[in-house]
């Protein structure tokens, strides 16, 4: 991964260097990002790429979008010697990544994340996905990017709520693997969410640290056969909240709720040391992120949404849980724990 202020202006050139075999390029971009940064990226290619916009928002991370994009690529005559550059947040990264994973049985993808969440998390690790009515990310593939190019200056146009959503995944990285990172992020919250501070040393350092934590966990377990599952901390509940609210909350906001609730689950199951839940809750609170599901979402609706999530095995809900901040609980390389319905209900305060 390369993080450098101003990198968008040479994204095409770096992508071509990363994939020298690609003769043609397709840029799959979030329409809102095209409006703000499209000209700079377009001008960074030696030859004009095919430019395909995706409307903004989780509602477009669908099979219909995948079909429209792949049809357009066929119409433009793209073949196995083409490559994809994904320009946008996690939504476009996931869709464009899945297009690349499946087009002509797989062509290279370069991720150019433009949200904080995508820079520290979604662009790294090779997971690509679509949402279907049955659940979030249920269709997908592992398709690691040939390069990840992050320009912190792109964050200048990102709304504050989307910046905070990105902080949620950074807190997660601290909780699952590095307590010092959690404190570092909390110490620099202001710079992370304040427009104008995008390229400060503090922001670039926090982003790089968070991305490195994710990358090192993925490197050891790329196909999630073991420890990579710790990166799903907070996500069993998060995906259920996203589904139950029809994606009315941002992914990062749902993750923040999941961190707090699943930390409480860990204490109720005596997996986590006492105090872990409060430390996690205080961090989420300090970041100005929500601590629990919105009013009106019943425990039953969350439980049924969780059952369709891919982490439910043999009807049992399993979660990666912390032992303490900075360390996840494991037994004999088993990184997930069965969480009975009554424990979810208690953790959700029912």
Q: How many C-beta atoms surround the C-beta of residue 342 within 10 A? A: 10
| Bridge partners of residue 338, in order along the sequence | 318
Residue 114 lies near ligand NAD (rule: CB under 6 A):
yes
Judged by CB under 6 A, which of 83, 91, 112, 211 binds ligand NAD?
91
Contact with ligand NAD (CB under 6 A) among 3, 54, 96, 122: 122
Rounded to the nearest 10°, the torsion over CA 297, 256, 138, 158 is 110
Tokens of 28: 């799959």
- Which positions are catalytic? 105, 127, 169, 214, 224, 228, 232, 235, 239, 251
Nearer to ligand NAD, 12 or 135 (CB): 135
Using CB under 6 A, which of the segments 116-124, 221-229, 275-283, 316-324 binds ligand NAD?
116-124
36 binds ligand NAD (CB under 6 A): yes
Which residues fall within 8 angstroms of residue 252, CB to CB, at 6 or more apart? 117, 162, 164, 165, 166, 167, 168, 169, 289
Q: Does 210 sit near ligand NAD (CB under 6 A)?
A: no
* 38 counts as binding ligand NAD under rule CB under 6 A: no
Among 118, 182, 211, 289, binds ligand NAD (CB under 6 A): 118
Stretch that binds ligand NAD, among 15-23, 52-60, 74-82, 329-337 (CB under 6 A): 52-60
Sheet strand arrangement including 337-338: 312-313, 316-319, 337-338
Residues 139-178 that bind ligand NAD (CB under 6 A): 154, 157-158, 162, 165
Beta bridge partners of 136: none
Q: How far apart are CA 90 and CA 350, in angstroms?
A: 32
Q: How far apart are the first and last CA of the chain?
A: 43
CA 231 to each of CA 209, 214, 226: distance values in angstroms, whole numbers, following the listed order: 15, 8, 11
Q: Does 217 bind ligand NAD (CB under 6 A)?
A: no
Number of residues that bind ligand NAD (CB under 6 A): 31
251 binds ligand NAD, rule: CB under 6 A? yes
CB distance 41 to 112 below 8 Å:
yes
Q: Which is nearer to ligand NAD, 85 or 272 (CB)?
A: 85
Q: What are phi and psi of 80, to 5 degrees?
A: -70, -15
Residues that bind ligand NAD in the complex, under the rule CB under 6 A: 30, 32-33, 36, 56-58, 61, 88-92, 94, 114-115, 117-118, 121-122, 125, 127, 137, 154, 157-158, 162, 165, 250-252
């Amino acid at each position: 991964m390369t993080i450098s202020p101003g990198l968008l202006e040479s994204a095409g050139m770096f992508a071509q260097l990363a994939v020298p075999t690609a003769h043609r390029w397709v840029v799959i971009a979030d329409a809102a990002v095209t409006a703000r940064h499209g000209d700079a990226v377009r001008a960074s290619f030696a030859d004009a790429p095919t430019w395909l916009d995706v409307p903004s928002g989780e509602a477009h991370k669908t099979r219909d979008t995948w079909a429209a994009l792949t049809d357009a690529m066929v119409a433009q005559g793209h073949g196995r010697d083409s490559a994809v550059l994904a320009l946008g947040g996690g939504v476009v990264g996931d869709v464009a990544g899945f297009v690349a994973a499946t087009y002509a049985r797989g062509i290279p993808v370069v991720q150019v994340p433009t949200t904080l969440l995508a820079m520290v998390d979604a662009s790294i690790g090779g997971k690509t996905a679509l949402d279907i009515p049955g659940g979030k990310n249920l269709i997908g593939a592992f398709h690691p990017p040939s390069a990840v190019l992050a320009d912190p200056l792109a964050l200048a146009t990102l709304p504050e709520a989307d910046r905070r959503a990105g902080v949620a995944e950074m807190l997660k990285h601290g909780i699952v693997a590095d307590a010092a990172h959690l404190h570092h992020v909390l110490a620099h919250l202001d710079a992370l969410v304040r427009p104008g501070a995008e390229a400060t040393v503090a922001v670039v350092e926090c982003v790089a640290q968070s991305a490195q934590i994710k990358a090192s966990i993925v490197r050891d377990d790329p196909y999630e056969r073991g420890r990579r599952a710790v990166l799903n901390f907070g996500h069993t509940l998060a995906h259920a909240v996203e589904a139950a609210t029809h994606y009315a909350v941002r992914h990062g906001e749902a993750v923040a709720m999941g961190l707090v609730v699943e930390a409480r689950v860990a204490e109720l199951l005596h997996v986590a040391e006492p105090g872990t839940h409060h430390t996690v809750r205080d961090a989420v609170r300090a970041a100005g992120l929500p601590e629990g599901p919105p009013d009106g979402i019943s425990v039953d609706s969350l439980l049924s949404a969780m059952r369709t999530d891919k982490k439910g095995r043999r009807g049992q809900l399993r979660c990666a849980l912390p032992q303490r901040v900075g360390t996840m609980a494991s037994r004999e390389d088993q990184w997930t724990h069965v969480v009975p319905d009554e424990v979810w209900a208690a953790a959700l305060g029912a």
